[in-house]
Homo-oligomer: A and B are copies of this chain.
């Protein structure tokens, strides 16, 4: 058969392939056997490169982070508001790039300390803008946690942009909610136009940071 000799795998290539596969099959379908098949290899081969599946997921999360950093242009001259907007829009976009992206990301830990660079950069920008270090950390973390929560819920309803998970029929929902008019009306809006709602929530967080820490 194929006398072609494959290049040996490495952690990065495995994580790459796994991320591509993730979009096709989702987190539930992302089995070691399926990943191995994609790499033209048997499942136990993966254990040469990763001590267990979680380690592979960690590498995937790290790779997601790398791509987010690469895909998010950060201007050193940003105001702290710009920076928060850019960074969190970039994070959301990165997570939305993968089916169950938020789940994979928030269920994993980075494999290295590459994330320390951008973080240091952000903290420097914020402290230079007048925040104490504790305030800077709280501001960045709060926005980060909001974004993570937002995308997690978003992907629960809408696994990939354009697709919609079943069980979210708006007509039936309206009927059940007949006795709760405000909820019915609010809900009809909540489950649509995630882009706008994300921006609005992010603006709330940023506004709160400015107001509470007296920095503008």
Binding site for B on A (CB under 8 A): 103, 106-107, 109, 113, 116-117, 119-120, 123-124, 127, 133-134, 136-139, 141-142, 144-150, 152-153, 156, 167, 176-177, 179-183, 185-186, 189-190, 197, 200-201, 203-212
Contact = CB atoms under 8 A, between A and B. Distances in A.
Given A106-B156, A142-B201, A177 B116 contact: yes
Contact of A180 (B119, B146, B185): B119
Given A138-B201, A146-B205, A206-B208, 17 more contacts: A106-B149, A113-B176, A116-B177, A116-B179, A116-B180, A116-B183, A120-B181, A120-B182, A133-B182, A134-B186, A134-B189, A141-B197, A148-B149, A149-B152, A205-B205, A205-B208, A208-B211
Contact of A204 (B127, B142, B180): B142
Question: How often does this chain occur in the complex, in copies?
Answer: 2
Q: Is the interface of A mostly helix, strand, loop or mixed?
A: helix
Contacts of A119: 180, 182-183, 186
A177 B119 CA distance: 11
Contacts of A120: 180-183
Contacts of A116: 176-177, 179-180, 183
A132 B186 CA distance: 10
Contacts of A109: 156, 167
A129 B109 CA distance: 42
Contact of A123 (B134, B137, B186, B204): B186
B201 A212 contact: no
A145 to B, nearest CB: 4
Nearest to A204: B208
Contacts of A176: 113, 116
A200 B131 CA distance: 15
B138 A204 contact: yes
